[in-house]
Amino acid sequence: MMNVKGLRKLLEGLPEEHLVILAKDGEGNNFSPLSPGILITEYVPESTWSGTIRDTDEPGFKQNAVVLWPIN
């Protein structure tokens, strides 16, 4: 999994004018621009490749996360 520090390092040195595009899935079946908003929440992994986000009051294993949303 990638954290904010890793994302910053990955983007370091890239032109600031480049668009940020999200892939729908790992196979590149569709793409969408990144929404300008973010959600800071807790992430609950259900497997090594997917999980859910939950309210901070719900019990269970959680990890702080920043969620980036596609526009579409």
Instruction: Look at residue 14 in the predicted model and tell me its pLDDT.
Output: 92
The tens digit of pLDDT for each residue in 5-50 reads: 999 999 999 999 998 988 888 888 888 898 888 888 888 888 888 8
Q: Which amino acid is at 11?
A: L
The full set of domain ranges for the chain reads 4-70
- Strands, E assignment, 1-72: 21-23, 31-45, 51-54, 63-70
Angle of CA points 41, 51, 19, to nearest 5°: 65
Instruction: Look at residue 36 in the predicted model and tell me its pLDDT.
Output: 86
Instruction: Look at residue 13 in the predicted model and tell me its pLDDT.
Output: 95
Whether pTM > 0.85 for this model: the answer is: no
Tokens 């621009």, residue located: 33
Residue 63 pLDDT class (50, 70, 90 cuts): confident
Instruction: Look at residue 56 in the predicted model and tell me its pLDDT.
Output: 65
Question: Could you tell me how far CA 13 lies from the centroid of its own chain?
Answer: 20
